[in-house]
Chains A and B, each alone.
Chain A
Amino acid sequence: MRQRVHWAELLGMLVLVGINAWVVNEQYGDLAKSIALVVGVAVTILEVLSYFEVLDEITGWRVNFRQSVNAVSIVASVVLVCLVVWPVVEYFRSGDVTDRVMLENNLGIDPGEEVGVRVDDLPGDGRDLKIAFAVKSQNPDAGFCEPFTYLETTDPDDPERGRQNEDSNFEFTFPTGASGRALEFAVVVRNENGDQNCAVNVTTEKAELKR
């Protein structure tokens, strides 16, 4: 009878651990972190059970009291370090904002034409936005446009060139202390061989916000 009660306690704790894992995973979307926390919590629970000699009673193991206390301390320290270090790593990690980049008039673009780019409501505190575009020939059966196509921003003072598979990256730095962070600009499609009919589709390969 006594054992049944203990098993019920254990089961209840495992359910709590599961709920904890689900909440952490939903909130952070990071499976590795969730697993680390869950394992940490589970081990802690088991150690606490052993401290009160419940585990001994259930399993018949003989657990040393001092070792148990040490183990609990170590696990608690690891969990604590994870909880403190993770937000710091998170803070300096690049944020993927690819889905925030909106392109207008980006399909079947002939050389000389512009693609409108708008980036709204960037989250977090990032300052440097790095956008990589991908260029694909609109009609791959009719010729080979990609190797000769490059992109330029419309800012005449600072045109940046991008070429697919090489350096199709554009970087923008927001001023320190800016209250809102949004961008609106255009990129011009160019063809280095002067082929005016090499129409391409331009898409966003990746956009990252760095701190």
Chain B
Amino acid sequence: MNTMRRRLPALLAALGLCGMAVTACQREPDGQKSIHAERVDVGLVTDSPGLSFSDHKSDPRGFDVDLAHGVVGHLGQDQKAVPFIINNVGQRDQELLDRDVALVVAAYSITKARNERGIDFAGPYLKTDQAFLVRPGEKFGGDQIGGRPVCVIDGSTADQATAAWALDGTDPRVRSRQTILSDCIALLKEGTVDAVFDDEIVLYGYLGELPEEFQVKLPGRYGQTQYYGIGILGGHQDDCRAVNDALREYLTGQWKTDFTNNFDEIPADRYASVNPFLPDEGDMGKLSCQVKDEPVP
């Protein structure tokens, strides 16, 4: 009986601790960013004119930036997107996995491999083929493409797509992998490489900055269609669906205006009747909110 008396307070204390633990689990863990906060931290990579660019003196601007503000605005009346600058595209996964940001809007392609790493996506909000950026007047296509030196961003989906390129001289060869696209552009300017291979929309963004210096070539058989999504940590499917709902409002409203304003170098006949860069509802159903479990921190 005495033993029982001694154990009772300890038991009650333990029960109390358990109760506190359960209550704590219902809240966002400390430091984790949420889409329900008044200020929603949105990861952006600012080295891509047209999509998202900053000279570090002014605020970032571009399609991704407009979209981030638009979608967060549709999430809640009092909510505001706060840009969180990610150094380069290679760090997007880690910023989400580290819970440093609630969302990532940074030319972030939806891939199965990212889903498997615990990164989920709302969207897509934009789709794009992959293409080559070359010097004006450069003959690059068909027979002239074999063995030509090409630059890609290290670890990007464009880089991954080059894995299928043959090494028998009939296909282009990756001669340089850079961390940021502007370094690839510099190599193209100085003639070290003959082309930069990346998403068509990214290359058109650069063309907007330097229209006289480059041209975009759609190569047809190289690269895959990319679907840009809004990155969100896996295991938060309700949040993901809420972002989808906000995105739907944006896609049927402001999307067209923001697209035209930010990509004025894309020939108008490219989207005269149907805009190939605009995803449809079916794409959203197949690609978004797929990750059920939250990755372990």
CB within 8 Å of B: which residues of A?
108, 137-148, 193, 195-199
Q: Main secondary structure on chain A at its contact with chain B?
A: loop
Do A142 and B286 form a contact, CB below 8 Å, given A197-B161, A199-B164?
no
Measured CB to CB, the nearest residue on chain B to A195 is B225
Given contact pairs A144-B112, A197-B224, a sample of 18 additional A-B residue pairs in the complex whose CB atoms are under 8 Å apart: A137-B112, A139-B161, A139-B164, A140-B111, A140-B116, A141-B111, A141-B157, A142-B111, A142-B157, A143-B111, A143-B157, A144-B111, A147-B287, A193-B225, A197-B223, A198-B224, A198-B225, A199-B164
List the interface of chain B (C-beta within 8 A of A): 109-113, 116, 157, 160-161, 163-164, 220-227, 286-287
Q: Tell me the nearest residue of chain B to A138, going by C-beta.
A: B164
Q: Which residues of B contact A196 (CB under 8 A)?
A: 220-221
Instruction: Please count the residue pairs between chain A and chain B whose beta carbons lie under 8 angstroms apart in the complex.
Output: 55
| Contact of A143 with B286 in the complex, beta carbons under 8 Å | no
Which one, B164, B221, B287, contacts A144 given CB within 8 A? B287
Listed from nearest, the 9 A-B pairs whose CB atoms lie closest are: A147-B286, A143-B224, A142-B160, A141-B160, A140-B112, A140-B113, A142-B161, A195-B225, A141-B113
Most buried by A among B163, B221, B225: B225
Chain A residues lying within 8 Å of B220, measured Cβ to Cβ, are 196
A139 B160 Cβ-Cβ under 8 A: yes
Which residues of the partner chain A approach B221 to less than 8 Å between Cβ atoms? 196-197
Write out the residue numbers on chain A whose beta carbons fall within 8 Å of the beta carbon of B110.
144
Residues of B within 8 A of A137 (CB): 112
A to B CB contacts below 8 Å, 5 in the list: A108-B164, A139-B161, A141-B111, A142-B160, A197-B222
